Structure 1
Amino acid sequence: MTIFAKIIGTGGYLPPRIVSNDDLALELAQKGIETSDQWIVERTGIHQRHLADPGVRTSHLATHAARQALEDAGIAAQDLDLIVVATSTPDYVFPSTACLVQAELGNKGAAAYDVQAVCSGFVYALTTADAMIKAGRARNALVIGAEVFSSILDWNDRSTCVLFGDGAGAVVLQASDEPGILAAQLNADGSQMGILCAAGNVSHGQVVGDPFLRMDGQAVFKLAVTSLAASAHQVCEQAGIALSDITWLVPHQANVRIINFLGRKLGIPSEKVVITVDQHANTSAASVPLALNAARRDGRIRAGDLALLQGVGGGFTWGSVLVRC
């Protein structure tokens, strides 16, 4: 019998502290940095972001989202065979954030590891968990995208600090005889690493290099749209499905301009595109599962719908997963 992986539950969590564009503009003005709600909205579509309080780590956000997803799926944490966390802001060098979440959930024995593909991380993690289930290596898998991106932002850099927020999203995958994950396609081009990176590290107890996120916005925009459009066509061709058959596009929530441009390029009507970036800004690996969870819980995405999940981020990485919900 052919084994498939199907999403049976989703969850999401955003830290309670909300910082509006006006709030952020006031904070930046105290540093002599000029911005405004109008400036941010016109360029990004972002109205607010959720920021974790000092001391709140990625594993904390991930655990909240995981518990919601497990409740939605109707399974216990101990039933999990696999836990995968996509993050670029892990709690520690090691152990993995996935192991920390496993301990918080009370699971013992499941395989647990992190995936690092920045804003494409959830798509990468979902693809690996899908492969594990199809190979018979796991029956129930928890896949999480979680970030405390505020910890790596330069709050003196207007071009980046207004764009990002903190959060976590999660899904539970289960082995099924009905197709759920229909196709997946992943790519990377390491030669483009310089357009979006946080190129610092810790060596011998000292920070070496630049520990903050740096981005060439125009280059990212161009490469993101081109890469995601090609990926969408490739994953649909792999599944034998026309783009016009897609019920929902659930893209990485980086910037409304990128999302709208991509939708037009693919010929997908705006009413079929899930957008949540206005409410939580770019949450990197958390953005796709947060958007998926929001659209499921408000009734937009229903059982049987065909959703195209897409991620794109530093590395440079990108990818698509086609899901029958």
Structure 2
Amino acid sequence: MSKKPQVMILGTGRAVPEKILTNADLEQIVDTSDEWIVARTGIRQRHVAEPGSALSDLVTEAARNALQNAGVTADEVDLIILGTVSGDMQFPATACIVQEKLGAKNAVAFDLSAACSGFLYGLQVAEGMMVASGYRRVLVIGGEVLTSMVNWQDRDTCVLFGDGAGAVLLGPSTDGRGLLQTFLGSNGAHSNLLYNAGGGCLNPPSAANLAAQVYAIRMEGKEVFRHAVSSMVGALTKVLERAGLTEKDLDLLIPHQANLRIIEAVTKRFKVPMEKVYVNVDRYGNTSSASIPIALDELRRDAGLKDGALVGMVTFGAGFTWAAALLRV
């Protein structure tokens, strides 16, 4: 089922808030310790947006950086897809606000909600729209300000999340490089294991809901861990099968940066050595849909990706949703 790449990455960009919250800082506000956090998550610090900050500002900065990296102007962009669950408002779509801030006057813009899987879902949607409808310059972005949803007294969740945005600019593939295959999955039977119940029609804004922390992220950590590992391994298996490849063909794996223990469990079961796995969760925490595009930008700008390398990407998020993709760089 291998196919010739039809879309490729022309540029990448990232943006994170200036403020850094370390594990030592968290020790001052909740019953936890650096040792406890590192042992369970691998996280040492995370970037945190100031209260009242707009996600659209982070996303716009990441998108501008991707455009500059590609040498493309904003008015050449004809589609913007933003994966997020923490947009500026319930509506309009934050992507529309980003369109205005960028000056991308010729672009169609919309948000995509798939939690931590939003960026990889967005890649497949973008590819389909480019092939079917002729879009030629497409921004796919993952961005979150999840710390706006955190209960800072819940030590099981507040230590996990950070804020940030990552963007890629896609264009038609001209030289055999690009997106080889994608695989998406979901299972709504487990939507009660990782969720934020506030803000929708079931729990509209009220003093009672605010006092009850209805607007905070809730998670059954052990169950999420179990499903995340099995789903990510399954997604990687499927996407490689579709491409007619095996794990031995991978030059690099970029997993969703949720938790170092999840990453290690996935790579162990999938038999990919850790020296082939990119990890930055220690510096950013779990930035949800932003984690993979942030890592991609770091790799392209700072770590160096050799031409022709086969990169695997895999993620898992609330819903449950999961996804994998193969990219020839």
Report the TM-score when normalising by structure 1: 0.95
**What letter matches 1:245 in structure 2?**
D
Equivalent residue for 2:219?
215
Equivalent residue for 1:319?
323
1:268 and 2:266 equivalent? no
1:192-228 CA-to-partner distances (Å, cap 9, x unmatched) read 0011100122559624682110001110111011001
Query: Is the contact between residue 239 and residue 324 of structure 2 (CA under 8 Å) also seen in structure 1?
Result: yes
Which of residues 132, 135, 143 in structure 2 aligns to 1:135? 132
**Cα shift at 1:7:** 0.7
Equivalent residue for 1:75?
72
1:31-78 CA-to-partner distances (Å, cap 9, x unmatched) read xxx211111000000000100012211111101111111111111111
Query: Is the contact between residue 22 and residue 37 of structure 1 (CA under 8 Å) also seen in structure 2?
Result: yes
**Cα shift at 1:293:** 1.1
**What letter matches 1:262 in structure 2?**
V
**What letter matches 2:159 in structure 1?**
V
**2:156 partner SS:** helix
**2:40 partner SS:** helix
Equivalent residue for 2:181?
183
1:69-102 CA-to-partner distances (Å, cap 9, x unmatched) read 1111111111111100000001011111111111
Which of residues 11, 14, 27 in structure 1 aligns to 2:13? 11
Question: In structure 2, how many angstroms separate the alpha carbons of the residues matched to 1:301 and 1:174?
Answer: 19
Equivalent residue for 2:205?
206
1:225 and 2:222 equivalent? no
Question: In structure 1, how many angstroms separate the alpha carbons of the residues matched to 2:236 and 2:184?
Answer: 11
Q: 1:205 to 1:189 in 2, by over 3 A?
A: closer
1:25 and 2:23 equivalent? no
Q: How many residues align?
A: 319
Equivalent residue for 2:107?
110
**Cα shift at 1:127:** 1.1
**1:84 partner SS:** strand
Query: Is the contact between residue 3 and residue 133 of structure 1 (CA under 8 Å) also seen in structure 2?
Result: no
**2:323 partner SS:** strand
1:173-197 CA-to-partner distances (Å, cap 9, x unmatched) read 0012334110000010001001110
Root mean square deviation of aligned Cα = 1.5
Query: Is the contact between residue 198 and residue 212 of structure 1 (CA under 8 Å) also seen in structure 2?
Result: yes
Equivalent residue for 1:173?
170
Which of residues 32, 45, 50 in structure 2 aligns to 1:48? 45
Alignment of 1:79-94 (within 5 A): 79-94=76-91
**Cα shift at 1:298:** 1.8
1:304 and 2:308 equivalent? yes
Question: In structure 1, how many angstroms separate the alpha carbons of the residues matched to 2:61 and 2:29?
Answer: 29
**Cα shift at 1:301:** 2.2
Query: Is the contact between residue 200 and residue 212 of structure 1 (CA under 8 Å) also seen in structure 2?
Result: yes
1:91-138 CA-to-partner distances (Å, cap 9, x unmatched) read 011111111111000011211000000011111111111111122430
Which of residues 59, 63, 73 in structure 1 aligns to 2:60? 63
**2:50 partner SS:** coil
Note the residue ranges of structure 1 that are not aligned, 5 or more in a row.
29-33
**What letter matches 2:274 in structure 1?**
S
**Cα shift at 1:3:** 7.2
Question: In structure 2, how many angstroms separate the alpha carbons of the residues matched to 1:201 and 1:75?
Answer: 37
**1:310 partner SS:** strand
Question: In structure 2, how many angstroms separate the alpha carbons of the residues matched to 1:278 and 1:9?
Answer: 25
1:194 and 2:192 equivalent? yes
**What letter matches 1:206 in structure 2?**
P
Question: In structure 1, how many angstroms separate the alpha carbons of the residues matched to 2:77 and 2:306?
Answer: 25
Identity of aligned residues (%): 45
Query: Is the contact between residue 89 and residue 149 of structure 1 (CA under 8 Å) also seen in structure 2?
Result: yes
Question: In structure 1, how many angstroms separate the alpha carbons of the residues matched to 2:20 and 2:124?
Answer: 32
Indicate the larger mover: 70-79 or 197-206: 197-206
**1:298 partner SS:** helix
Query: Is the contact between residue 296 and residue 302 of structure 1 (CA under 8 Å) also seen in structure 2?
Result: no
1:246-269 CA-to-partner distances (Å, cap 9, x unmatched) read 111101000000001111111111
